Amino acid sequence: MRRLPLICLLALFPGSAFAQNIQTVPMTKISYLENGWSGNGLAIHVSGVGIDGCPAANNKFALSADHPGYDTILALALSAQAQDADIELIVDKGNCLFGDRTRILSIRLYD
């Protein structure tokens, strides 16, 4: 049996982690948080340099309420803002959500 090239496998599973362009936003602080206007969601704006790939400014990110880690990420973001703590965002570059912001996959909270 011939082996399919990796690129073919990625095309078969476009929603998989393999197809995502996962990048980490350098350590930064949250400038402000914003709720979703058209439903339950979260926008995080950071003070540092972000990731290009969506039409919104590179320091604007979004999280949909249907993300499996939504509640945890929201709690960590609120804690980070309250403590003025450093964070890193793990994002899916080029995957844009409401307001054309880059999609958040995860958050790292530092003290």
What average pLDDT values come out for the chain (111 residues) when binned by 10 residues?
41 50 96 83 93 94 94 96 96 93 96 80
Which pLDDT does position 8 carry in this prediction? 38
Which pLDDT does position 77 carry in this prediction? 97
Half-sphere exposure of 108 toward its Cβ, with a 13 Å CA cutoff? 11
Which pLDDT does position 98 carry in this prediction? 86
Which pLDDT does position 12 carry in this prediction? 42
On whether the pTM is more than 0.75, the answer is yes
Which helix (H) or strand (E) segment holds residue 94: the answer is strand 87-97
Which pLDDT does position 37 carry in this prediction? 72
Nearest to 9 by CA among 102, 1, 18: 18
